[in-house]
Structure 1
């Protein structure tokens, strides 16, 4: 009989965010080897192994499972704010690191950002999505797209300030997908759209529609101040859409140190300049597309599935 895997995620389908997309995909990948129970919190039901997303938000489940089942493997995936904020200041997140048998991180620079005492537990597992051909793109204007719920970590203010600087560039259109998790940021998005008609805030959109818009865009814009490995970045890369991204570890660890589409975090002027270059210099956009194509194999589903299965298999075999 297959072992039981308790897959804990702080975000279920209603959240429609990166954590949910990851949890759903992992449940699918592991269903061949495990009886997967996908839940937002462990309820004490029997499980042979736990895989928990987010060191702080899943901490109650992590701690309870470690106490109740100390001889059963416990794997924790660090998905963003836990890696770049919580583990530095939050005792529950720190305890999760100590209790974990393995730590899954989502980009190649992440292990160096872990405390030295737990760095040896780290396994890099790039997230994935199937490759899809890009859709036809108009040459009448540049279509830029940002995908990210409106919250502080995504730093959408950078995009709005860049849109203001591009007010007179009617040939650069900016679409923005994301729910207003912070109502004040939702109001700011509405104000930007009212003041700068080339910027459109589209609110939350179904995942399928979002993927279609990524394929139609000339560039994806990613302004985050912290990321554990943004799923939307790899979705763009696997669909032939170049990325303009803040130079933070979570983006550099996915796109590579030499990628040509970075801007300093929060630097709206630099982002506006990159958007103008993307419109005015076709060679620049083609060069970014080539660089993204070179990174695309890292985000292949077969690779992610193999890494995930091997990590859990080794944890089970190491069980006392």
Structure 2
């Protein structure tokens, strides 16, 4: 299995690769994770990222024409690279025997000819250790968290910008956990901290720190402008933490079109309105909590493992059929 993110990386692709390694090994497979491929033999190849892994995919297909190939599509593959770098990205999709999409609407967002190869896989999260979430009415603050590295795709400062528009008596405080993608985003985050008393930038947190942040928050904001299916949404649902999300397909494909907590992507004023609604209307907040509780069962490790096995089986079947058609 190849991922662009090296050992120790906090990138989502690395976390996905290591979680899949664990799930596949629990099912009896032997899995090696690499960041570069040089033609080594294997029984099956999984590539995370169609565009970034294009050279490895091409080499594998040339070196091992009889072996099955699974390509997992990221948000940037689907919503950027298939348009900016169509030759490499679409060639990877074409070479794959099975494609993995991480939300239920991926099929609407890739070329129709590839949909027959698509397996929908919802990334899983462990159910957290039970934390007693403070009631919003008894807390000094109404805490809102944003989790993910600060970068353009995540629209990472949309929530604190929306918090600036709230009434003076609002108790909302926004905490962002994640490293800055580059010096520009670091500067933006530091400036927001200086100018916005409702904002805290926590930097990168370890797994326990993220769990604690979720347990101490009343809401999670997922503000991305493009998303392949964020694992933090799975984590929030498993933790019973209501989500406010931009209305992109990467979010609606996880939470469902009937979810009540959307706002128009990039619309600061609309996000401020939803945040104020959640803070001031206990019934609305409880509606969101009930909805994420209902969704939690689709984000279990058992279901993710089942979807992985489905993708592997489809790849084996399609590769066998491709070879039979040539004989």
What band does the TM-score fall into relative to the shorter chain?
A: over 0.9
Residues 242-281 of structure 1: pairs in structure 2 closer than 5 A: 242-281=242-281
2:53 corresponding residue in structure 1? 58
Residues 1:183 and 2:183 aligned together: yes
CA distance in 2, matches of 1:167, 1:62: 53
Residues 77-116 of structure 1: pairs in structure 2 closer than 5 A: 77-90=72-85, 91-116=87-112
1:137 corresponding residue in structure 2? 134
Residue of 120, 127, 137 corresponding to 2:123: 127
Q: Note if contact 1:134-1:240 (Cα within 8 Å) is conserved in structure 2.
A: no
2:36 corresponding residue in structure 1? 41
RMSD of aligned alpha carbons? 1.5
TM-score normalised to structure 1 length:
0.94
Give 4+ residue runs of structure 1 displaced > 2 Å after superposition. Answer: 12-15, 132-136, 138-141, 166-170, 313-320
TM-score normalised to structure 2 length:
0.92
1:198 corresponding residue in structure 2? 198
CA distance in 2, matches of 1:317, 1:120: 13
Give the C-alpha shift of residue 315 in structure 1.
2.2
Give the C-alpha shift of residue 170 in structure 1.
5.1
Ranges in structure 2 where 5+ consecutive residues have no aligned partner: none
Ranges in structure 1 where 5+ consecutive residues have no aligned partner: 1-6
Give the C-alpha shift of residue 89 in structure 1.
2.7
Q: Note if contact 2:98-2:314 (Cα within 8 Å) is conserved in structure 1.
A: no
CA distance in 2, matches of 1:170, 1:117: 50
Deviations 1:62-94 (A, max 9, x none): 111011111100000002111111112312111
Aligned residues: 314
1:235 corresponding residue in structure 2? 235
Deviations 1:226-249 (A, max 9, x none): 000001111001001000000000
Residue of 114, 134, 138 corresponding to 1:118: 114
CA distance in 2, matches of 1:8, 1:208: 27
